[in-house]
Amino acid sequence: MGSLDGILRRRGIEIDTEALASVVEHAIEEAGGIPPYSDPAKLLEPHQLKLLARGGFEIQETGLGVEDPILLGAIEYAVLRLTALTTKEAAERLGVNDSRVRQRLGNRELYGIKAGDEWRLPVFQFVHDGLVPNMDKVLPRLDASLSPVSVFRWFVTENPDLSVPGGKRLSPLQWLVSGHDPDVLAELARWI
């Protein structure tokens, strides 16, 4: 598989692992930290432990390691942020100036992550030469309190309500890219 630095470079992410660690640490802090998972033997009464043991359950403290959902979310957030465009890069891609990008962020026609004093715009909303078609009609319908990871996952996960002839399910992003009705997707976005 290779080193983390090598993996990042192969994917076009030019950042050293210390900077990545800093972003992951920040994401974990924003999520409220990774709570220490309690030892079940300390939470249950002795008779409950005996009952569970008789039922074949192993009661022992185990760490989740790389399967910890908070850690996985923090890493996903870090990748979203590290691969995101600056407002200047987004402006160049859209053929507008920086102030227009900030205005569209304010109108929620573009999706951004605030990183200190700067906006970062995740690349999933862009195609090579602009914005994913009709993305600006869907983004304002999303709840503004959704986390960046939740927004990203919603856009890239197949949705049973977005089926095409033949029964194939599309993700919201595939739905937009393939030119389907954005109003259908905008209505679904209201409910996540």
CB atoms within 10 A of CB 173: 19
Give the per-residue pLDDT at 183: 96
The domain ranges of the chain are: 4-60+67-79, 84-124, 132-192
Query: By three-state DSSP, how is residue 45 classified?
Result: coil
- Yes or no: say if 84 and 120 are a contact pair by the CB < 8 Å rule: yes
Give the per-residue pLDDT at 1: 59
| pLDDT means over runs of 10, the chain (192 residues) | 69 70 72 61 83 82 66 83 92 96 97 91 94 97 94 96 92 96 95 88
Q: Give bridge partners of residue 119 from the DSSP assignment.
A: 114
- Provide the pairing of β-strand 126-127 with 130-131: antiparallel
Angle at 129 between CA 123 and CA 130, to 5 degrees: 60
Instruction: Report the alpha-carbon distance of residue 96 to residue 142 in Å, rounded.
Output: 24
Give the per-residue pLDDT at 77: 87
Instruction: Report the alpha-carbon distance of residue 105 to residue 129 in Å, rounded.
Output: 18
Please report, as a single letter, which amino acid is at residue 134. N
Helix (H) or strand (E) holding 150: helix 148-156
φ/ψ of 35, rounded to 5, equals -70, 150
